[in-house]
């Protein structure tokens, strides 16, 4: 099923329940702090497997125990339902 681009109003509504996520430069954004590098990288590896299964890949950055993630959908040139689905799965992994 193709990604559905969300309107600004839909994005704002979904952000109300996506705790910890914000809108930064037109992307869903969240920063995580882990116990150490191994925990951070382990969580990133788990996210990578989920993202690959969805064929929906995050933009991210990692230094030691910090992971910064930005989500948007290039095919719709904005934020889609896929981004919020992946954000929820990321939250479960980093939980």
1 pLDDT band, cuts 50/70/90, is confident
Question: Residue 42 pLDDT more than 80?
Answer: yes
Q: Set out the domains of the chain in order of their start, with CATH numbers.
A: 21-94 (3.30.1360.20)
Residue 2's pLDDT is 81
Question: Residue 59 pLDDT more than 80?
Answer: yes
The candidate with the shortest Cα–Cα distance to 82, out of 60, 45, 53, is 53
CA–CA gap between residue 21 and residue 3 (Å, rounded): 20
- The pLDDT mean for the chain works out to 96
CA–CA gap between residue 29 and residue 37 (Å, rounded): 20
Structure tokens at 58: 């995050």
- Percent of the chain clearing pLDDT 70 (strictly above): 100
3-state secondary structure of 95: coil
3 pLDDT band, cuts 50/70/90, is confident
CA–CA gap between residue 1 and residue 16 (Å, rounded): 25
């Amino acid at each position: 099923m193709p990604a559905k681009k969300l309107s600004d109003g839909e994005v704002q509504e979904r952000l109300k329940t996506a705790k910890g996520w914000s809108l930064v430069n037109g992307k869903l954004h969240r920063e995580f702090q882990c116990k150490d590098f191994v925990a951070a990288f382990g969580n990133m590896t788990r996210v990578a497997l989920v993202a690959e299964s969805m064929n929906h890949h995050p933009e991210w950055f990692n230094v030691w125990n910090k992971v910064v993630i930005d989500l948007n959908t290039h095919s719709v040139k904005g934020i889609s339902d896929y981004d919020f689905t992946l954000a929820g799965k990321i939250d479960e992994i980093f939980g």
